[in-house]
Chain A
Amino acid sequence: MGSVAALAATGAGGLLRSAESWAANWNKAGFESKALADVLKSLGAANPVESRDIVITAPDIAENSALVPVAVTSKIPNTQQISIVAEKNPFPLAATFEMTSGAEGYVRTDLKMGQTSDIWAIVKADGKFYVAKSEVKITVGGCG
């Protein structure tokens, strides 16, 4: 693998650090939680408010459960953080994205899902937490 020096990062509000320090600060409690309640607790998001200003773009039916594209667009002003949760995954928390004022409240990635499940997008904006959900059905295609 590559061995290029990581970048020292001092972002606005001291939220963002170097890649190594991020790895060291990886949300172990959250990523290793099996229960949704523990995931939310690890994010400090115990009672997120449902919001229509969060749009989850994902297939209703995914043909390959190991490659499910999920995009989250948050129109809530001052979006600081977006977490993506696959409710029925063995470890529901899939990813957390922190953004400075330099990035829009938008992110997209690809996830593995264990079974048909709701995808939750948990957004932190101005210190408050919001949530939206969208179901993705998992299925099998073709001859093999």
Chain B
Amino acid sequence: MSSTRGIAALVVAFLVAPGAALAQGKTDPGIAIGRQMLAEDNPGELWIEQGKALFHQKRGPKNASLEQCDFGLGPGKLEGASARLPRYFSDTGQVQDLESRLLTCMVQLQGFNRDDVVRRAISPAGSNGSDVEALALYITSRSNGMKISVALDHPKEQEMYKAGEYLFFRRSGQTDFSCVQCHGEADKRIRLQDLVHMTGKNGTQEIAGTWPAYRGAHYVVRTMQWRLYDCFWQMRLPELVYASDASIALLTYLNYQGNGATIQVPGFKR
């Protein structure tokens, strides 16, 4: 496990100017209407009932449901729970996001093998989706209409936030990329993909409540763990391990920036 205290001590705000390859411009209204039409009643909804069924179904070697899983508000209490994630959990002694907490419960309550769940968590594009994706969507949907409200009350939550902020700005890997180079300014895009401005609240608030989302090009529901994994891939960095400290640190940083955003899932991504 990484020493978040050590990383926190190294926090420096690297404000790197985005590369010249990024073009300027707000979202074209001709594109915006497509996005709105795609988001309404999008196919991601097909997985909500499935997620609900999986939540209540007795599964795994222990033949147990997830009804006793504590997402921070008490066992089985889902309404509003994902709005406050990531947060510290005393039973694991860790700051956890939705998916790592789901993983904890699938292992501890249902007896699933952790590696097996991790291996199948991100489903192949064009498949019927994974149980994790359906569950993450269902659990988050139980916070629909509520605002993201990540509190950084616990010292470990504060450490994770600082670690996430550090990772967000740190250039690394063969491309010398950091998140901030694409997501550090407003009104930027790559080709026609708008780049969310994530170092201020406004940009992040527009998207923080939209995950998990149906990824049109993959025909399945995708989660934030997948989104971060894919960003790392796009930056040609080493693989971001599912539910790793690094992923949770980044999510703590990002979701805190997103505080105040209204959750409305499934979102829709092209």
Residues in A lying within 8 Å of B, measured CB to CB: 57-64, 66-69, 71, 108, 110, 137, 139-144
CA distance A128 to B250 in the complex (A): 60
Chain B 22-55 per-residue mask, 1 if CB under 8 angstroms from chain A, else 0 = 0000001111011101100000000000000000
The reply to whether B234 and A63 form a contact with Cβ atoms under 8 Å apart is no
Q: Give A110's nearest chain B residue, CB to CB.
A: B38
Partner of B191, one of A57, A62, A139: A139
Q: A59-B30, A60-B30, A60-B33 are in contact. Are A141 and B192 (CB under 8 A)?
A: yes
The reply to whether B37 and A142 form a contact with Cβ atoms under 8 Å apart is no
Q: Give A69's nearest chain B residue, CB to CB.
A: B37
Give 9 closest A-B pairs by Cβ, nearest first.
Answer: A59-B34, A60-B30, A142-B193, A69-B37, A141-B193, A63-B270, A141-B192, A67-B216, A64-B270
The contact size tier of chain B is: 10 to 19
The reply to whether B37 and A59 form a contact with Cβ atoms under 8 Å apart is yes
Interface centre among B28, B29, B31, B35 (most CB of A within 10 A): B31
The reply to whether A64 and B217 form a contact with Cβ atoms under 8 Å apart is yes
Q: What are 6 A-B pairs at a CB distance below 8 A?
A: A59-B33, A60-B30, A60-B34, A62-B34, A139-B191, A140-B192
Partner of B31, one of A60, A71, A108: A60
Chain B 186-202 per-residue mask, 1 if CB under 8 angstroms from chain A, else 0 = 00001111000000000
The reply to whether A141 and B34 form a contact with Cβ atoms under 8 Å apart is no
Q: A66-B217, A67-B38 are in contact. Are A140 and B191 (CB under 8 A)?
A: yes
Partner of B190, one of A71, A108, A143: A143
- A-side contacts of B217, CB under 8 Å: 64, 66
The reply to whether B34 and A71 form a contact with Cβ atoms under 8 Å apart is no
